[in-house]
Structure 1
Amino acid sequence: MVLNQATLKRDGVQDFVSLRTTALIISAYAIFIIGYFLATPEVTFEAWTGLFSNLAMKGFTLIALVCIMVHTRIGLWQVLTDYVKCAKLRAVLGFVLNLMAFAYVAIGLIVLWGV
């Protein structure tokens, strides 16, 4: 069997691995933030800006934002193809919801890096 590696199509294994990987990173980020809230007696503006002024925290947040977008895109594709049978409606919903996911990351970057 000849496989065409030049196509942009995904397979189920790639989606499965991508979903599991992004879920692990998102979970690690959530656990870190929950741990920060539990370990910090009083979360003030100074403590919060001090946490996010660290380059490692900005990088971890950036990775988490991108993982949220990838996780959302794959999940939306799976849900829309399963439950929305009209191709035009599925395309419009997919476009709008993917645009929203991209906007979420873009706004997160603006807030995070202060651009």
Structure 2
Amino acid sequence: MSLGGTGLRDWLVQRYTAAFLGIYTLFLVGFVLMHQELAYEDWLGLFTSPWMQISTLFALICVAFHAWVGLWTVLTDYIKPFLLRYVLEGVIIFTLFGYVIWGIFVLWG
């Protein structure tokens, strides 16, 4: 149930998603630092622009993929009973999918 089927693909997914999330975080920190008196209107203006909505959606998807690869690795390393590991993996997948769907509703709802 790994994401890419090979360790190399999973490793690359971890690195690319981490790079995008790092850039996204630096942008948000820069935005906050540039707006000393940050108000609701500033956030609304930022997050209603289409490029920011798409970037935020991509960030949510990156978080889900990044978390899945990391948690799958931990589960396969430390949870040896087959049924328990698959149940936990299912719960994690369902939860991450729910978070992405919830994020879509927050962004465009």
Using the size of structure 2 for normalisation, the TM-score is: 0.93
Q: Is the helix fraction higher in 1 or 2?
A: 2
| Letter of the structure 2 residue corresponding to residue 24 of structure 1 | A
Report the Cα distance in structure 1 between the residues aligned to 2:73 and 2:87, rounded to whole angstroms: 15
| CA pair 83-111 structure 1, distance change in 2 beyond 3 A | same
In the TM superposition, 1:8-19 aligns within 5 A as: 10-19=5-14
Root mean square deviation of aligned Cα:
1.3
Count of matched residue pairs: 107
- 1:58-114 per-position Cα deviation (integer Å, ceiling 9, x unaligned): 111011111111111111110100011111111111111111111111100100011
| CA pair 62-70 structure 1, distance change in 2 beyond 3 A | same
| Structure 1 partner of 2:65 | 70
| Structure 2 partner of 1:30 | 25
**Identity score, percent:** 42
Q: After TM superposition, what 4+ stretches of structure 1 lie above 4 angstroms from structure 2?
A: none
The answer for unaligned runs of 5 or more in structure 1 is 1-7
Larger Rg: 1
